[in-house]
């Protein structure tokens, strides 16, 4: 996922990535994509609304006026269910402010207000209990319903009920199922139950849990099969390859992604937005500002005393 998002900096990367049939350029792709990190890093002394306003201010096009920007922020807050928390300070994780699940939803909202076409999410359910994970995944589902593409990695998949397109990999990064899940994961269940030796799913059993159990390494050894090889020989694999081939060609009349400027906003607007945010961060944190004033005063007096009247004794 990091390779697709253009965030991988180490190792060797092979292959081609195309966007709408054109070779991917990170400079332009970054303008139409969002990335939610696993660690929710936010400024603790600004409110939820101010966090979203700051992101939208810097990342939306300069053609969007202030009124439209605020309307869009309100829509995003409604989408990720953050309206009741609009005036809440973000706070420090584990100390005060928002809970882990609320911070995760804020991370998603911060990317959504940039109005991206595709959003990458690095383990959005990481560190959450079953209820919190369900709330976050409901937010992801709402995001998909707006017409955006969401690509996310989920390790603790048993916590949620799958309702998405699935790219399932075994250890080593080999794909063993790529395709739709269907209502109550019926397509996934039909595919794996069609493999000889795989046990049928019990009534009322979580399809995600069953999927992980029947595709484990131990299960492969006991059945004497390789799920990666089975997938490569399947009709589903051939359909996916044909779809990739088709989507790798530009549509008739399509144009490559292009932006006249490197950034969405001018240098002056960027400075204004950053100063506005820093102003509130310092204003709402008097102890930090007081300590800085104290240290500056003490160090000034100390150096002034050490070098007092040395100039006249040269």
Segments making up each domain of the chain, as ranges: 2-160+234-264, 266-309
Give CA separation, 19 vs 23, 24, 263, in Å.
6, 5, 20
**Range of weakest confidence among 111-120, 178-187, 192-201:** 178-187
For domain 2-160+234-264, give its CATH number from 3.40.640.10, 3.40.50.300, 3.40.1410.10, 3.40.630.10. Answer: 3.40.50.300
What is the spatial order of strands in the sheet that 149-153 belongs to? Answer: 33-36, 118-122, 149-153
Q: What is the pLDDT of residues 35-69, one digit of tens each?
A: 998 888 899 999 999 999 999 999 998 888 899 99
Helix (H, G, I), strand (E, B) or coil at 165: coil
Query: Per the confidence metrics, is the pTM higher than 0.75?
Result: yes
Q: Which helix (H) or strand (E) holds 102?
A: helix 100-112
Decide: 170 and 138 in contact? Cβ < 8 Å.
no
| Interior angle at CA 166, CA 160 and CA 171, nearest 5 | 90
pLDDT at 297: 96
Decide: 55 and 110 in contact? Cβ < 8 Å.
yes
Q: What is the pLDDT of residues 138-172, one digit of tens each?
A: 888 888 888 888 888 877 665 555 557 888 888 88
Decide: 90 and 103 in contact? Cβ < 8 Å.
yes
Q: What are the DSSP E strand ranges found in 42-108?
A: none
Decide: 140 and 124 in contact? Cβ < 8 Å.
yes
């Amino acid at each position: 996922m990091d390779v697709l998002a253009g965030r991988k900096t180490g190792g060797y990367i092979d292959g081609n990535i195309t966007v709408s049939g054109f070779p991917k350029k990170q400079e332009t792709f970054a303008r139409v994509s969002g990335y939610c990190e696993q660690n929710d890093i936010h400024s603790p002394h600004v409110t939820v609304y101010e966090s979203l306003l700051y992101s939208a201010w810097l990342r939306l096009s300069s053609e969007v006026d202030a009124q439209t920007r605020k309307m869009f922020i309100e829509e995003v807050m409604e989408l990720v269910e953050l309206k009741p928390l609009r005036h809440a300070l973000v706070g420090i994780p584990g100390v005060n402010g928002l809970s882990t699940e609320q911070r995760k939803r804020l991370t998603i909202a911060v990317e959504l207000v940039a109005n991206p076409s595709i959003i990458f999410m690095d383990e959005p359910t990481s560190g959450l209990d079953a209820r919190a994970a369900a709330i976050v995944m409901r937010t992801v589902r709402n995001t998909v319903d707006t017409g955006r593409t969401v690509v996310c990695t989920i390790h603790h998949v048993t916590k949620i009920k799958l309702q998405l397109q699935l790219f399932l990999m075994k250890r080593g990064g080999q794909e063993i199922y790529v395709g739709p899940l269907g209502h109550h994961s019926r397509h996934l269940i039909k595919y794996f139950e069609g493999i000889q030796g795989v046990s049928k799913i019990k009534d009322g059993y979580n399809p995600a849990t069953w999927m992980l159990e029947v595709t484990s390494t131990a299960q492969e050894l006991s059945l004497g099969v390789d799920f990666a090889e089975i997938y490569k020989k399947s009709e589903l694999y051939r359909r996916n390859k044909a779809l990739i081939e088709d989507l790798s060609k530009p549509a008739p009349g399509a144009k490559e992604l292009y932006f006249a400027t490197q950034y969405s906003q001018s240098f002056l607007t960027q400075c204004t937005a950053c100063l506005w945010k820093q102003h509130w961060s310092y204003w709402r944190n008097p102890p930090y500002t007081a300590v800085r004033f104290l240290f500056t005063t003490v160090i000034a007096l100390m150096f002034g005393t050490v070098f007092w009247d040395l100039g006249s004794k040269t």
